[in-house]
Chains A and B, each alone.
Chain A
């Protein structure tokens, strides 16, 4: 086994925890001579050949896997290749699976501080720290839960958490003044199923064929007229329009088959405003201050629009539901307004999506393949 390279971070975490994992530092070396692995069994004959081989392997080649070295991964791949590039691949046969880093405790606290204490938007924190927005929301939720459990005195698994953070690659929180290392790519574009097809589509050479038009072709929408196309200088203009008014996306098809026109990547990525920033940088390379200012404005604008939409949805939900808490009852009653019309119950009043259990419709909870367990749990 080659000597391990000790980075600064590693040596820092290498300090033993006296009562627990200190043995791990000593016995991670394959010292086959000193280890007496078969002490539990007096008889050699009872073991099969395979068992014998296994214990042999565990005492020689596999001995290093028994305990971890804090701050380093310790995967089987290390034995197979011995290369340092493979240090984060847990499965030797699968080069496509990478053990990716998790957020460090400090980074988690930082996220919570920024979102809850400093009231920054998820979007801004996500861009600054290079962490997906969903992950940031989840971290806030989990840290909040942790704080509550701590205050309630519920049991925690602290030694376990520490051990996991020693074994798994971790994205640390940058020191003050240093640039935060990005945790993951934040502008992931989901591959749309419509784009799977190969389409032959002749385009006049006089006309530029860009992402907006490609999206229309994929979803089978008619091409833009010249006036419409002239309005859009860059697909980002469309993104801005959609941010302002999400309902401006057109539809193709009728009735049940209606679907929205496939939008260009500029609209569908989580942080379209970053394209605006880049475009400003290209257009005004020497005016850093203005660029930043406009970027902040755009962020604030998008944030306020999203906030409004959320509030509207919440208000709609609240308006349709009244909660009554009778004094003589142990329970609250949540009365949900419903409308029984042809649309909500079907033409004969028995549509499967109609409110209430239906009459004259077979109850198929015994049929094969139907889901009998809950499909969702409301938070």
Chain B
């Protein structure tokens, strides 16, 4: 059985929110995972315009991650899904994949 690090969708309609979970690959998305190692909120937040340094800042997305647990599960062979790979890549835990598509 393959262990995967993947996203489990929570939240409501039009208001997604993800847990980053470690689960058996064949288990259901909403089933109870082996472990929750983080969260990911894909709705971008706009930095408030209250302070000067924020005036031209980009909107941001929030990720929470337990690095040590992620490291451990990667070490024992858990395979991140593509979106999680992207997040872990930004966290410096895996080598980011090159973008797969090129405009002709």
Contact = CB atoms under 8 A, between A and B. Distances in A.
Chains A and B in contact, CB within 8 Å: yes
Given A322-B91, A331-B44, A333-B90, A340 B60 contact: no
Interface residues of A, number: 31
Given A328-B99, A335-B90, A357 B17 contact: yes
A248 to B, nearest CB: 34
A359 B32 CA distance: 6
Nearest to B32: A359
A357 B65 CA distance: 14
Nearest to A149: B49
B32 A360 contact: yes
A340 B59 CA distance: 27
Given A338-B38, A355-B36, A332 B65 contact: no
A10 B50 CA distance: 36
A356 B65 contact: no
Contacts of B52: 144, 148
A334 B62 contact: yes
A338 B37 CA distance: 9
Contacts of A354: 36
Interface residues of B, number: 35
A333 B87 contact: yes
A116 B44 CA distance: 33
B82 interface: no
Nearest to A337: B67
B52 to A, nearest CB: 7
Contact of A331 (B35, B36, B55, B58): B58
Nearest to B9: A357
Say what secondary structure dominates the interface of chain A.
loop
Interface in B44-74: 44, 48, 50-52, 55, 57-69
A51 to B, nearest CB: 48
A119 interface: no
Contact of B50 (A328, A331, A379): A379
Contacts of A360: 32
A337 to B, nearest CB: 6
A96 B67 CA distance: 57
B66 A359 contact: no
Contacts of A148: 52, 55
A357 B61 CA distance: 17
A134 interface: no
A337 B50 contact: no
Contact of A335 (B11, B37, B55, B65): B65
B35 to A, nearest CB: 7
Interface string A318-336: 0000111110101111111
Contacts of B33: 359
Contacts of A349: 35-36
A339 interface: yes
B32 A336 contact: no
B60 A334 contact: yes
A345 B64 CA distance: 14
Contact of A379 (B11, B37, B48, B65): B48
A359 B48 CA distance: 33
Contacts of B36: 340, 345, 349, 354-356
Contacts of A79: none
Given A328-B99, A340-B69, A356 B38 contact: yes
Q: Of A141, A331, A332, A379, which is in contact with the most chain B CB atoms at under 10 Å from its CB?
A: A332
B63 A334 contact: yes
Nearest to B10: A357
Given A325-B58, A338-B38, A340-B35, A145 B65 contact: no
8 contacts: A326-B90, A331-B59, A334-B62, A337-B67, A338-B38, A349-B36, A357-B17, A360-B32
For the complex of A and B, list the 4 residue pairs with the smallest distance between their C-beta atoms, beginning with the closest. Answer: A357-B10, A332-B60, A356-B19, A324-B90
